[in-house]
Each structure stands twice: as C-alpha cells, then as structure tokens.
C-alpha cells in the first residue's frame, strides 16, 4: 500500500490529507472503491504525522492491497469539529474521486468519536452521495435521521462509552428504521470509548463498506431551449424511479463537464453577435449555485468542453473552427485555428471543430473536425502531435476510447457510421467503419452521440432523423450491429450510461429526457416509461 501526504487548497483554506492507494494501482486502467476516514479529536492539529499512527490506518494498511481500495484521510488542522466543515470535506472528496478515477458508485465513509459525529453529519448533508457508512461511537440529530432511510449504515458503539453515550447511536438507528430504513447497530459489550478497536479489527467493517453500491445517482441535463436551463434529477438505481429536484435558469446551456464539485457549463449566445462563454456551477451544497462569472470562448457555436484535473478547460467552437485552452481563474487563453474543408457542399465548406477528448494515457487531446474529415491529436500545450484522415464525407463528430487505450471509436455525423482506430502514444490509425443504419433506411439522418458500456462489450450510438439508439457488440475493436430502438422522442443529441451501467438517460433536442433500463447481459435497451420535459435537451452527465 502506498501512503502519500497531500494538500488540497481553496484560496486561503486548505486541508492536508493522506491518500492510500494499493500497490500497482493505475487510475487510467481501473476504477476502485474510495473509503473516507474522519479521525477523532486526538488527531487534530497542524501536523498530519499523527494520522500515520491512527488505529484505522494501521488496520486498513494490512488489507488495502488485498481489498483493492483507495483510502482518504483528511486532517482537521483548524481545531474545528467535522460538522462545521462538511462542504469543504465534500469538495475534497469530489476532487480525490476524480483525481484517482474512483468508482463513483462505491464511495463510503467511516469515522470514530468526533469522526463518528462527522460521519453522521456528512450523511445528513449529502444523503444520496455515499454508498455506505460506518459511524463509530458518534451521534447526530435524530430528528433528521429519516433522510437516511435508503442508505446502508452500520453504527458501532461501546456499551460502556463514558465519552459519547451509546444512546446517541441508538437514537439515530432507531429513528432511521422507524421511518422505513434498514440501519444496523452493533453494541460492543464491556467496551468503553475505544470501540474503533472492535470496528476496524474484530468486525468485517471494511468488507461490508466496500461491498455496498450507491443507490442514488444525480443526473444533470443541459437544455438550451426557451425556458430551459440546467436540471438536476435523482435516479433510484434499484427502483428505476427518477425525480426532478431542481432547475437552474442560466441562459442557454449547451454542454456540461464535471470536475470535483464544479459543473462547467457552456452557454450559447450570451454576447450578441460575439463569442459564447463558460460558467461554473458549484455542486458542493444541496443546491446548484453559480456566481455567473463568464469566461469567453473566443469563437461561435461553442459545442463541447473537457476539464483537466487542474481545472484547465479545453473547448471547441463549431462555426469558428478553433480549439481553445483557457484557465478559468486567470482568464489566460490560447487557441489553435483549424483550416480546411472536405467534400460535403454545405456541411464541409470549411473547418468545423466538434469535440475534444483526453486520450486514455492522459497525455494528449483529440479534436474531431467534422468539416475537414480529420482527427487531430494535440499535447496539452496545443502543439500538434499527429493527425489522421476520416473517410471522405464521414464528418467525424465525437470520439471515445477503450479503457486500455488500444482503440478509439468515432461517430461520424454525416454518413452515419462508427469508425474504429487503433491508438498508441499520440497516434491514431484508421481500421474500419461500421454502418449504423439498416438497409433501406429513408430520410435525412445524422449521427450524434456515442458511448461504451462499462464492461466495453457493447457500444451505443444515436441517430437523429430516424431517432434511434443503436447497439453494437464489441469484440477486439470489431463491431456487430445487434439492436436498434426508438429514442422515445425526437433528435437524440446525447445520451449517457449511469455509473453502474444499469440505466441509460437520453436527452432529445425535441424537448424530452427519457430513461431506459439496460440489459447488461444482452446490451439491449428497454423503455421504463419515465419521461421529463426539458426544452432543447442537449447533454446529460452524472454525479
């Protein structure tokens, strides 16, 4: 197990934290559970060195490699209680989860004494976020406990605890279960305040925490039609029920990208006859909040963005045909202008950059140019590394990669195909293209979105015109069309698979958000009957 000391900063506020990762962990190739530990009063202070000696860490060190789990241990240096720092802790968790490519469906939390109280408060503040929790010798506000009826909770407390009475845990668990929950409590007979010895050494708490999967998924949708905005839904992964929680009216949002607790949002037409822009939305509280600060995109028809782990933004402007790198805080911006055209008389009369994507090794960025029938590969300094030509008239729109980096899959908007490329260290090589449409398909149809299933056995792609989502079987970079289903609306601009792979949410430009159930064995999609109105729905992501 590797233990590193790190610092997370936001202005003048910062946390030191320990990050424990299993030996041989490669975040670009695997996604592991994340476990958060909140220490007790005795470990507070300026120095994080005391945390190296805490009982939890000494126990988890022995099993982390075997369990294949990432462990985050923040240090309370300010001599505050955790309950007063929940939003800052949440932003740290989001940051580490993204940095380490943690499995977002398996983020659990535990803590002892002051950390037990902090664990309860984190749960109450973010009841849909954690997959499971094990508060040890702590307590909380039992009148709020019904919020936790759908969370897997195992509370542990010493029967003879002189510092935090066992009734604190009992009241929380009783309140949860009285309201339909299923929390459990282990009272350690003859044990005082140090019930963490039982929790972390004698009981199978680690296995239990790691085994649990998050029940709820936050769904964010950008809708740029009249009266639209950014919508936040909650999806119950067990019952397939989806509910609208809130809507943030913020102009004409086109696309979304999340980094840590921040949702970066593209806005169209914010400056009359000028460039589009980017705003940030804070997700660290129970409501979406934006200060509405806008960074210009230095181009028109801003259509796609990605955000690096250091918050550097890369984006593309379709009409202007450029690729832009910007620092949101300083406003410093660099750009590359594409030049060229291809064979389609109206859609490829000039350059049209449509998407940028990180390569799996994290070293490069691909840019699909629909107008030039090219995919360019840049390093992060915007220097061109290589380029590859797509089939003439194809119109490369969006590219995704296999997790091992061996293959890239590009959906071509104009000829309704998916092209497969081999990839190695900044270089793409064209292999083959596969038709998305069945024979004798009629009418004007343009391809839109592309995604891989979590196990990469299936590839999904959408078509506008026929308004379908097609399913390909994937085997060693080769595709076989196996299914096609109506998208449940018109013009399926985007869709996405939930982190657990069990559902697919489709955003239709015609103004609907539609939920499908995924058969993970066959890859086929099944309508759930759940549909929401969202004018001009264009993009969907999860948190």
- The CATH number given to whatever domain includes residue 539 is 2.130.10.10
Pairing type for strands 253-259 and 277-282 reads unpaired
CA dihedral 408, 502, 103, 10 (to 10 degrees): 90
Q: Which residue has the higher pLDDT, 312 or 63?
A: 312
pLDDT at 185: 98
Whether residues 160 and 16 fall in one domain? yes
Q: What is the mean pLDDT of residues 296-316?
A: 94
Note whether 254 and 539 are within 8 A (CB). yes
User: Helix %, strand %, coil % for the chain, to 5?
Assistant: 15, 45, 40
The per-residue pLDDT for 444 is 85
Contact 56, 37 (CB under 8 A): yes
Please indicate, yes or no, if residue 420 is contained in any of the structural domains.
Answer: no
Looking at residue 11, its pLDDT comes to 80
Boundary-marking domain end, from 211, 235, 265: 211
Same domain, 183 and 68: yes
What secondary structure, in 3-state letters, does 224-277 show?
CCCCCEEEEEEEECCCCCEEEEEEECCCCEEEEEEECCEEEEEECCCCCCCCCE
Q: What tens digit of pLDDT does each residue of 518-542 get?
A: 999 999 999 999 999 999 999 999 9
Tell me the pLDDT tens digit for each residue of 421-451.
999 999 999 999 999 997 766 778 999 999 9
pTM for this prediction? 0.90
191 and 231, same domain (yes or no): no
Q: Is residue 334 part of a domain?
A: no
pLDDT tens track for 29-56: 889 999 999 999 888 877 776 665 567 7
457 vs 42: which has the higher pLDDT: 457
Provide the 10 A C-beta neighbour count for residue 160.
14
Any domain includes 431 = no
Q: In this predicted model, what pLDDT tens digit does every residue of 391-424 receive, in sequence order?
A: 999 999 999 999 999 999 999 999 999 999 999 9
User: Same structural domain for residues 97 and 138?
Assistant: yes
- Domain limit, last residue, from 190, 211, 232: 211
Same-domain status, 146 and 239? no
Give tens-digit pLDDT for 148-191: 999 999 999 999 999 999 999 999 999 999 999 999 999 999 99
Per-residue pLDDT at 243: 96
Structure tokens at 251: 């102009």
Q: Do 504 and 469 have their domain in common?
A: yes
Check: CB of residue 68 under 8 Å from CB of residue 34: no
Whether 113 and 224 share a structural domain: no
Answer for the pair 142, 171: CB distance below 8 angstroms, yes or no: yes
Number of domains in the chain: 2
Instruction: Please indicate, yes or no, whether residues 147 and 220 belong to a single structural domain of this protein.
Output: no
Co-location of 58 and 198 in the same domain? yes
The percentage of residues in the chain with a pLDDT greater than 90, rounded to a whole number, is 81
pLDDT > 80? residue 371: yes
- Mean pLDDT, rounded, of the chain: 93
Closest by Cα among 375, 372, 381, 477 to 427? 375
Return d(Cα 9, Cα 18) in angstroms, integer. 14
Percentage of the chain beyond pLDDT 70 is 97
Cβ-based neighbours of 80, under 8 Å, separated by 6 or more = none
Q: Is the pLDDT of residue 65 over 90?
A: no
Give the model's pLDDT for residue 109: 98
Examine the domain organization and report whether 153 and 12 are in the same domain: yes
User: Residue 363 falls within a domain, yes or no?
Assistant: no
Query: 149 and 224 in one domain?
Result: no
Residue 206 forms part of a structural domain: yes
The pLDDT of 477-503, averaged and rounded, is: 97
User: DSSP secondary-structure letter at 202?
Assistant: I
Contact 264, 256 (CB under 8 A): yes
**378: in domain:** no
User: Given this model, what pLDDT does residue 2 score?
Assistant: 87
Evaluate whether residue 531 is within a structural domain.
yes
pLDDT score for 492: 98
| Residue 410 near residue 426 (C-beta atoms within 8 A) | no
At 50 the pLDDT is 60
Tell me: pLDDT of 79 over 70: no
Express each pLDDT in 236-291 by its tens digit.
Answer: 999 999 999 999 999 999 999 999 899 999 999 887 777 899 999 999 888 999 98
Same domain, 104 and 233: no
Which residue, 211, 240, 270, sits at the end of a domain? 211
- CATH number at 73 reads 3.40.50.1820
- Judge whether 335 lies within some domain: no
End-to-end CA distance of the chain: 28
Instruction: State mean pLDDT over 482-497.
Output: 97
pLDDT at 526: 98
**Domain carrying residue 202:** 2-211
| pLDDT score at 271 | 76
* pLDDT computed for residue 77 by the predictor: 76
Which helix or strand (DSSP H or E) is residue 134 part of? strand 132-136
* Cα 42 to Cα 35: distance, rounded to the nearest angstrom: 21
């Amino acid at each position: 197990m590797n233990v590193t000391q790190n610092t997370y900063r936001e202005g003048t506020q910062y946390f030191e934290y320990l990050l424990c990762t299993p030996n041989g962990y490669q975040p670009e190739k695997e996604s592991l559970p994340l476990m958060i530990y909140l220490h007790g009063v005795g470990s507070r202070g300026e120095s994080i060195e005391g945390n190296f000696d805490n009982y939890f860490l000494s126990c988890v060190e022995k099993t982390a490699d075997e369990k294949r789990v990432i462990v985050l241990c923040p240090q309370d240096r300010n001599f505050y209680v955790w309950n007063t720092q929940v939003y800052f802790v949440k932003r740290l968790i989001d940051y580490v989860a993204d940095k380490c490519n943690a499995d977002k469906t398996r983020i659990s939390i535990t803590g002892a004494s002051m950390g037990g109280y902090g664990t309860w408060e984190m749960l109450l503040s973010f009841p849909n976020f954690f997959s499971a929790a094990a508060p040890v010798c702590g307590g909380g506000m039992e009148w709020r406990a019904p919020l936790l009826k759908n969370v897997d909770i195992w509370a542990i407390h010493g029967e003879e605890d002189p510092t935090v009475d066992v009734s604190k845990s009992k009241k929380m668990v009783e309140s949860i279960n009285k309201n339909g929950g299923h929390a459990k409590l282990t009272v350690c007979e003859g044990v005082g305040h140090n019930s963490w010895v039982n929790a972390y050494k004698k009981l199978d708490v680690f296995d239990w925490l790691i085994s649990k999967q998050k029940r709820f998924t936050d769904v964010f949708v950008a809708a740029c039609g009249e009266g639209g905005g950014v919508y936040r839904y909650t999806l119950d992964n067990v019952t397939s029920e989806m509910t609208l929680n809130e809507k943030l009216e913020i102009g004409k949002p086109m696309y979304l990208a999340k980094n840590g607790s921040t949702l970066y949002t593209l806005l169209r037409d914010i400056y009359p006859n000028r460039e589009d822009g980017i705003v940030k939305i804070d997700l660290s509280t129970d409501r979406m909040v934006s200060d509405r600060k806008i960074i210009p995109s230095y181009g028109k028809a801003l259509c796609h963005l990605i955000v690096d782990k250091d918050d550097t933004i890369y984006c593309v402007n379709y009409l202007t045909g450029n690729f832009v790198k910007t620092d949101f805080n300083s406003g410093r911006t660099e750009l590359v202008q594409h030049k060229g055209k291809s064979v389609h008389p109206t859609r490829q009369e000039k350059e049209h950059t449509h998407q940028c994507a990180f390569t799996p090794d994290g070293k490069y960025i691909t840019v699909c140019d629909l107008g030039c029938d090219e995919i360019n590969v840049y390093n992060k300094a915007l220097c061109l590394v290589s380029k590859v030509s797509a089939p003439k008239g194809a119109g490369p729109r969006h590219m995704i990669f296999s997790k091992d980096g061996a293959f890239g899959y590009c959906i071509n908007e104009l000829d309704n195909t998916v092209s497969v490329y081999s990839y190695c260290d900044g270089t793409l090589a064209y292999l083959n293209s596969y038709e998305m449409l069945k024979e004798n398909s009629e009418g004007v149809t343009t391809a839109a979105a592309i995604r891989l299933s979590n196990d990469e056995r299936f590839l999904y792609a959408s078509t506008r015109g026929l308004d379908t989502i097609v399913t390909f079987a994937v085997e060693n970079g080769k595709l076989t069309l196996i299914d096609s289903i109506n998208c449940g609306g018109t013009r399926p601009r985007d869709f996405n698979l939930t982190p657990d792979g069990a559902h697919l949410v489709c955003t239709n430009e015609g103004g609907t958000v539609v939920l499908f159930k995924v058969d993970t064995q066959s890859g086929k999609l099944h309508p759930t009957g759940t549909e929401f109105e969202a004018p001009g729905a264009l993009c969907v992501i999860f948190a």
